[in-house]
Structure 1
């Protein structure tokens, strides 16, 4: 049974549980809610949570673990002589899953019976059968792949059946347990509040656990990379020339130079324009102008980055070439350059700076403005000497957010700056960034055990550490100025 159907059944049992729990509590109190320890709704909530929490918890855990268990079981049955390394085994398992899904589709559409799909002993007619239900195979299916696909189908069907039975039984058991202990003296409110508190703690922990998981995955794969490639060459190398045939030079300095060069240009565009726009909207603009201008400015934040990338490639780049290209100053040889990506990225970052800075400036107490004006300062002097210093910690935070957004941008760089890893001061030359190279190194059928693929994790880990350092430095600045104005 599909997981969505199981979810609907569990929800239905929970709804029934709510009604049973509430009605049983009222019956035990003789129909008078004043004799109950808790409000009648809490008894219903207790029954519903007794159904939902264990059943859905088991369902989620099962959905996570079942594919892993089946993958290990089926891959262990594939002859070791058929693959040379882990990458080749993963490719075989992809074929196994594709064939298994094709067999399921063929059975569902009536192209073959379940018995025929389970008893196929050769791959001769398999291609035509699967092609008839819209599943294309790139090569001939080996016999061991077909056998593994049949085992995959069998294990998956068995696991799905057991999952369905256990989840529904657990939901019914939770309902029975909740209804049995429901009476007028049962402290349903306390139980419900403890369960809700546990769910809130779990929800709050997801972000922390996700961060820990991301960091650990980066750390482990980075260590694997440094086992295969010298860390000194990685951190101090001046050449980026990966070659999956061997002999790669994987120096990170050219990538970081391109990353920070493009980010600096973007911030040089976004920070002044965004900050001036925030000052105007918060201090000078009338209410009608502000109600129109701020939403229009924030529309920029909703534009997909791929659109910005196309704008850089098709509009900004050719415009810069017409001015700085061969017919102009001769500095720019093509439309893809650091300046192209930096200008467009700066436009993208304007709403991040302006919107956040506007909110921070508006949060400065009006009494500070009134006091400055009362002492004889002009409006511009009040903004410059009172409002902006008081709002500086928040403005620094807005700039930091924009900087982090710039460092992590990919599509604008790919389309606007090119893919050349070089060290150059010329902003009209093509360069690339760390994030763009992470994408390129993980694209394709590369062997993940090779340094050319593992280097993506080393790049990500290094970028994470540098960004964390920038955040700590910015936090120090924020605290220093906050102490001055509190």
Structure 2
């Protein structure tokens, strides 16, 4: 039974439990619901929750533990030297799963019987060709030990699927039986349901926190492995970025930091004035009809995928800057440059800044505007001397958050700024950022244990610290200098 089908069965049992629990509560007081401690609906929800919680909890634990258990069952079939090496073991298990999937596909297609799938031998047949007939492509011939491991994997997987369905449904029915057994007039179903709801809310909050902790731990642990192989001083203060998987790499961080900050600076030069002026116009000058038209049109930009912005930078902005600015003034002859990526990232950030600044400006009390007008100030004087100073902490916070977003942009930089890691003041030179190099170092056929790959995690944790610092600074500014109005 697939996970989807099992989920539908559990939901069906929970739905039945809702009506059974509700009906049992009403029948326990012979229809006089006033004698119930809790409303009938609470009794129904209690029964449904007693079905869903143990069933889905068990299913989640099973899904997490099943791959680990199956791998332990399969490893004895693989050579000892493969099992001892982490990378080789991971690749071997990927081959095992791929062959097992191919055998399942062959059985479903009717080109192989179930018995044949369990007894076929790699040395007696061209298994690679037979699996290719059912659409499963293998990179090399199947080794005998890989086939034996795949057959054991299929057997263990089928057994796990069978018992997963039986045990999960049994847990759902047991939960339903318990809920019905405690359903009576004096049962505090409302208290139980509200406690469970509170637990769900706390769990949701905890997941967000634990996710952040997991991200930090994953980057930090691999970064420690990197710095064990590559000197930290050379990484943080090196002026050359030249990774070489054959040895002799120079992994200096400074050129990537410079490219990141340079492109982000250009982006903020574009985004901050345009976004702020747009917010001032929409909040203070535009009529309600004009605002209702312009604001949604601007916010459409926020919904455009960044890869589309990358294409815009590659096809339109880059060639335009090259033909009309870079080449005529002898500054370069490439469409990929800091200016190209910075301008497009700035356009991407305009709706972000304008939306936040608009909300902040609108939060300034109308009484301050009326007082300024009463003293004889004009509209522009009120905006410059009253509204903007009052909204300044929030606006600064919005700008810093936008800067964090600009620093973390990847796709636009990849397509618009090139991949050159260098120190240059020429805005029409091709440069790159930390995010681009993180992607580049982790893609392709690379050795995951090499410093050239692990450097991506060092870049990631450094980028995390930079953006976290900007976010904390933004929150500090907003909280410390925010005006309190009555």
Tell me, yes or no, whether TM beats 0.5.
Answer: yes
Correspondence 1:344 to 2:358 = no
Contact 2:398 2:474 in 1 (8 A): no
Deviations 1:9-52 (A, max 9, x none): 10111111111111111111011111111101111000000000
Contact 1:344 1:412 in 2 (8 A): yes
- Post-superposition shift, 1:69? 2.7
CA distance, structure 2, for counterparts of residue 70 and residue 108 of structure 1: 22
CA distance, structure 2, for counterparts of residue 52 and residue 475 of structure 1: 39
1:292 corresponds to? 293
- Post-superposition shift, 1:126? 1.3
Deviations 1:49-74 (A, max 9, x none): 00001101111221122123323442
More deviation, 455-464/131-140 = 131-140
Contact 2:310 2:415 in 1 (8 A): yes
CA distance, structure 1, for counterparts of residue 187 and residue 83 of structure 2: 62
2:186 corresponds to? 185
Residue 82 to residue 474, structure 1, CA distance change in 2 (3 Å)? closer
Deviations 1:73-106 (A, max 9, x none): 4245411335884323322222111111111111
Residue 428 to residue 192, structure 1, CA distance change in 2 (3 Å)? same
- Post-superposition shift, 1:485? 7.3
2:26 corresponds to? 26
Equivalences for residues 139-288 of structure 1 within 5 A: 139-288=140-289
Contact 2:223 2:458 in 1 (8 A): yes
Residue 115 of structure 1 aligns to a residue whose secondary structure is helix
CA distance, structure 2, for counterparts of residue 461 and residue 69 of structure 1: 32
1:113 corresponds to? 113
CA distance, structure 1, for counterparts of residue 47 and residue 389 of structure 2: 55
CA distance, structure 2, for counterparts of residue 88 and residue 252 of structure 1: 31
Residue 390 to residue 68, structure 1, CA distance change in 2 (3 Å)? farther
Contact 1:266 1:343 in 2 (8 A): yes
Contact 2:336 2:417 in 1 (8 A): yes
Contact 2:238 2:252 in 1 (8 A): yes
Contact 2:103 2:131 in 1 (8 A): yes
Structure 1, unpaired ranges of 5+? none
Deviations 1:241-280 (A, max 9, x none): 0011011111111001000000000000000000000000
1:378 corresponds to? 378
1:452 corresponds to? 452
- Post-superposition shift, 1:121? 2.2
CA RMSD of aligned residues (A): 1.5
Return the TM-score normalized by structure 2. Answer: 0.97
CA distance, structure 2, for counterparts of residue 254 and residue 482 of structure 1: 37
Correspondence 1:55 to 2:55 = yes
Contact 2:131 2:137 in 1 (8 A): yes
More deviation, 118-127/396-405 = 118-127
Misfit runs of 4+, over 3 Å: 81-85, 483-486
CA distance, structure 2, for counterparts of residue 114 and residue 309 of structure 1: 50
CA distance, structure 1, for counterparts of residue 420 and residue 84 of structure 2: 34
Deviations 1:339-358 (A, max 9, x none): 11001111111000011111
Contact 1:241 1:248 in 2 (8 A): yes
Contact 1:390 1:485 in 2 (8 A): no
CA distance, structure 2, for counterparts of residue 127 and residue 201 of structure 1: 50
Correspondence 1:307 to 2:308 = yes
Residue 470 to residue 16, structure 1, CA distance change in 2 (3 Å)? same
CA distance, structure 2, for counterparts of residue 72 and residue 339 of structure 1: 53
Residue 300 of structure 2 aligns to a residue whose secondary structure is helix
Residue 476 to residue 203, structure 1, CA distance change in 2 (3 Å)? closer
Residue 140 of structure 1 aligns to a residue whose secondary structure is coil
1:410 corresponds to? 410
More deviation, 205-214/87-96 = 87-96
Return the TM-score normalized by structure 1. Answer: 0.97
CA distance, structure 1, for counterparts of residue 171 and residue 180 of structure 2: 14
Correspondence 1:319 to 2:324 = no
- Post-superposition shift, 1:125? 2.9
Aligned residues: 485
- Post-superposition shift, 1:385? 1.5
Residue 148 to residue 173, structure 1, CA distance change in 2 (3 Å)? same
Residue 72 to residue 373, structure 1, CA distance change in 2 (3 Å)? farther
Deviations 1:277-317 (A, max 9, x none): 00000100011110000000001111111111111111111
Residue 192 to residue 476, structure 1, CA distance change in 2 (3 Å)? closer
Structure 2, unpaired ranges of 5+? none
